[in-house]
Structure 1
């Protein structure tokens, strides 16, 4: 027997769908690949039975419920497409929301914050500096950056910024537009307080590197 790639894929879908049917019969909720296989197999089958496009789409919503699948799977199947063989040829059938999510169904990847407020960088001393962008273009500084080593076009008290970073959440930052002064709050690094990379002014333990880092900054025009 010689099978085309399409025919081989159809047998793979059928095999996975049969596993999904067995799981469902045993009361095992389906994972995302199993739910997809079962939906695809059902739609391919009713298409071969002669259902038209509206009937195929309508049938898709009757196959699985939120109780049949693992939590979150319904939200992962907001759209579902399968190529089916019909009397007039191969057609792509797209179904929206084939599984209606349950009222308490979690959304994969959603952030569920704790109640109350969380203080950012609690207990760390803050240093406020005035920063002026003396350049001709906007400069972005991320929250993790060693502020002592940021773009030399930013004018501020560099020595006071040694060992500090922006008092902003991880992944955040600040924007400095040309010719505009802005006040920033900085906090000390925590942990081992070792800094590498950035502008190459510091290369290790912050306390041990302080003198050498200031010398490098002066030599490279970061500090007047």
Structure 2
């Protein structure tokens, strides 16, 4: 049996679609490739049966539900295009959002928030400092940085910033443009209060005797 590349691709698609059908019978949620293969195979079959074009699309749209797929798959399958072999010639069938997302389906990468606002660092003692960037380029400080050890071009009361970090959500930060005063709020660093890395002024416990004085003298040098 000699098969053309197109016929080989059709057999591959059919095999993947059959796996998807087997998984559905066994109650196994479909992956992205399995869902696409099943949709494409059903469109190809309906076209060969000379089902009207609009009905082919309607059938495909009713084929799968969100709960039959792995989480996130319906949102990944937003557009599926198939060159379908109708008896009167090949036609491009385009499926738009063929899998209903459902009310409980989530989108990959989405942020799901609660009904109530989340308080950052509840009960933490806060201090507000004015920072001026005396350098010639922007400086950005991230949420996890020990503020005492930030870029020397930033001018502020460093002793007041000892053992503190920005009062911002994890992963956020503050950008300081040259010459523009910026007020920042700082909270104490929690946990074991051991600072490693940064500018290397501490590299140890923040609350150790003499740690602030040693770091201040080293920074001034």
Alpha carbons of structure 1 residues 27 and 151: separation in structure 2 relative to 1, 3 Å:
closer
Equivalent residues in 2 for 1:58-207, closer than 5 Å: 60-66=60-66, 68-70=68-70, 72-82=72-82, 94-207=94-207
Q: Can you list the C-alpha shifts for 1:161-207, whole angstroms capped at 9, x where unaligned?
A: 12111011111111222212121111111111111222222212222
Q: Distance in 2 between matches of 1:29 and 1:92?
A: 28
Q: Distance in 1 between matches of 2:144 and 2:78?
A: 36
Q: Distance in 2 between matches of 1:199 and 1:6?
A: 61
- Deviation of residue 57 (structure 1)? 5.0
- When structure 1 is superposed on structure 2, of 191-200 and 62-71 the one drifting more is 62-71
Q: Can you list the C-alpha shifts for 1:121-148, whole angstroms capped at 9, x where unaligned?
A: 1121112211111122222211111111
- Deviation of residue 104 (structure 1)? 3.8
- When structure 1 is superposed on structure 2, of 147-156 and 114-123 the one drifting more is 114-123
Aligned residue for 1:214? 216
Structure 2 gaps, min length 5 = none
- When structure 1 is superposed on structure 2, of 15-24 and 4-13 the one drifting more is 4-13
- Deviation of residue 86 (structure 1)? 7.8
Q: Distance in 2 between matches of 1:128 and 1:62?
A: 58
Q: Distance in 2 between matches of 1:90 and 1:12?
A: 19
Q: Aligned residue pairs: how many?
A: 219
TM-score normalised by L of structure 2: 0.79
Alpha carbons of structure 1 residues 71 and 130: separation in structure 2 relative to 1, 3 Å:
closer
Alpha carbons of structure 1 residues 202 and 89: separation in structure 2 relative to 1, 3 Å:
farther
Q: Can you list the C-alpha shifts for 1:21-77, whole angstroms capped at 9, x where unaligned?
A: 234345655343321221122234455667898776555324324464455432221
Aligned residue for 1:30? 30
Aligned residue for 1:17? 17
Q: Distance in 2 between matches of 1:196 and 1:83?
A: 59
Structure 1 gaps, min length 5 = 220-224
3-state secondary structure, aligned to 2:218:
helix
Aligned residue for 1:222? none
- Deviation of residue 108 (structure 1)? 3.7
- Deviation of residue 93 (structure 1)? 5.5
- When structure 1 is superposed on structure 2, of 63-72 and 51-60 the one drifting more is 51-60
TM-score normalised by L of structure 1: 0.78
